[in-house]
Structure 1
Amino acid sequence: MIGFFVVVSIIVHAITLLSLVVLSLRVSKTKELELRQEQVARQVEETMSAYLLDLKEENERLLNMLSGNGYNDNASGDTSSSNKGVDLQVNDSNKEVVEAYSPPIPQPAEDVDTYIPSQDSQVLALASEGYSVEEIARTLNKGKVEVELILKFQQRK
């Protein structure tokens, strides 16, 4: 009878020990998963902050470029901007009007359906052709960080 209880006790102890090992493995896997998620969250945060900095730099360049060209966005009713691409300048010496022509911006025909691939698909197509991130950004007039983001998000899908 004592032998029976000893065997049952050994079996119960073995099951308990096995349960502890399994639980410890699960806890370690959970901790590892949490660490990976924190790392991914940090990478996404760093990528987004880099993207925002790049966007801020591009906006500052645009503002500098617009202010350098004498463009000012005032609501005072200035009629000189309503000349549709023609700037009139008066030459004081001869009192003649000189027109500086800037070509009109072409408007797409309304009745023609044209396929325009999305920016994401253009980035992915250029990347699959072997272009570098800098070349893609230069070709599509985008920031390097924006191109990197598109490629990273596509890799995760």
Structure 2
Amino acid sequence: MVATILVILFIAQMLSFYFIILLYTKISRLKDIEKSQERLKDEMYNAVGAYLAEMRDENDRLIKELTMMNRNRQIDENENKHTTTEKDNAGIHENQSAKKEEVIVPTYNLPRNVAAKAYKNNSTTTPTITMQNESFNEEMAHLVEAKKKLTLDEQIQELYHSGKTVDEIAKMLQKGKTEIELLLKFQH
């Protein structure tokens, strides 16, 4: 009788050790998953922060370019006014009716390809790169026109798989480099 009780207690103790080990492995797996989730969260936070920083930089460049265009337009208008006043003072009154019909250029009518100009005006480019960019732009223009039916994500994937770098894709699609990196990262 004592022997059977000892055997039952021994079996119960072995089962309890088995369940303890099983629970410990599950807890360690959960901790590993938690660590990987934390790492992914930090990586995502850094990626979004970099994206926002790049967007801020691009907005600053756009604002600078817009102010430069407005300044140039104002300078041109001032020069035109200055030359017209000099001509008026010199005694040329017969062309006054023609001068009154001057075309007024809207101050905020800007082309859509401001991002492309910002890339061209970027100080990090070198002259050799700009020469390569001309042939590159022609090649990519044909690719982009052929793929206009695709969504942005599909275009990015297609260009990336064809061997284009993130910078080239960003310039072709006139998007931010970080935006392209994020879209590629989330699709893998």
Residue 134 of structure 1 and its aligned partner are, at CA, apart by 1.1
Q: Which amino acid aligns with 1:9?
A: L
State the partner residue of 2:27.
27
Give yes or no for the alignment of 1:139 onto 2:182: no
Instruction: Report the TM-score when normalising by structure 2.
Output: 0.61
State the partner residue of 1:112.
none
Residue 99 of structure 1 and its aligned partner are, at CA, apart by 6.4
Whole-Å separation in 1 of the counterparts to 2:16 and 2:59: 64
State the partner residue of 2:153.
120
Residue 2 of structure 1 and its aligned partner are, at CA, apart by 1.2
Aligned-pair Cα RMSD in Å: 2.5
CA offsets 1:62-118 (integer angstroms, 9 cap, x no match):
0000010007xxxxxxxxxxxxxxxxx6752374547699xxx8xxxxxxxxx6432
The SS at the match of 1:138 is helix
Whole-Å separation in 1 of the counterparts to 2:177 and 2:104: 36
Gap regions ≥5 residues in structure 2: 72-79, 106-110, 112-147
Whole-Å separation in 1 of the counterparts to 2:152 and 2:69: 28
State the partner residue of 1:79.
none
Q: Which amino acid aligns with 1:137?
A: A
Q: Which amino acid aligns with 1:6?
A: L
Residue 18 of structure 1 and its aligned partner are, at CA, apart by 0.2
Instruction: Report the TM-score when normalising by structure 1.
Output: 0.72
Whole-Å separation in 1 of the counterparts to 2:156 and 2:65: 26
Whole-Å separation in 2 of the counterparts to 1:117 and 1:50: 27
Whole-Å separation in 2 of the counterparts to 1:121 and 1:58: 24
State the partner residue of 2:4.
4
Q: Which amino acid aligns with 1:60?
A: D
User: Whose strand fraction is larger, Structure 1's or Structure 2's?
Assistant: 1
Whole-Å separation in 2 of the counterparts to 1:67 and 1:118: 33
User: Whose helix fraction is larger, Structure 1's or Structure 2's?
Assistant: 2
Gap regions ≥5 residues in structure 1: 72-88, 106-114
Give yes or no for the alignment of 1:59 onto 2:59: yes
Whole-Å separation in 2 of the counterparts to 1:145 and 1:154: 14
Instruction: Select the structure with the greater relative contact order (CA < 8 A; seq sep ≥ 6).
Output: 2
State the partner residue of 2:50.
50
Identity in percent: 29
| Number of residue pairs aligned between Structure 1 and Structure 2 | 127
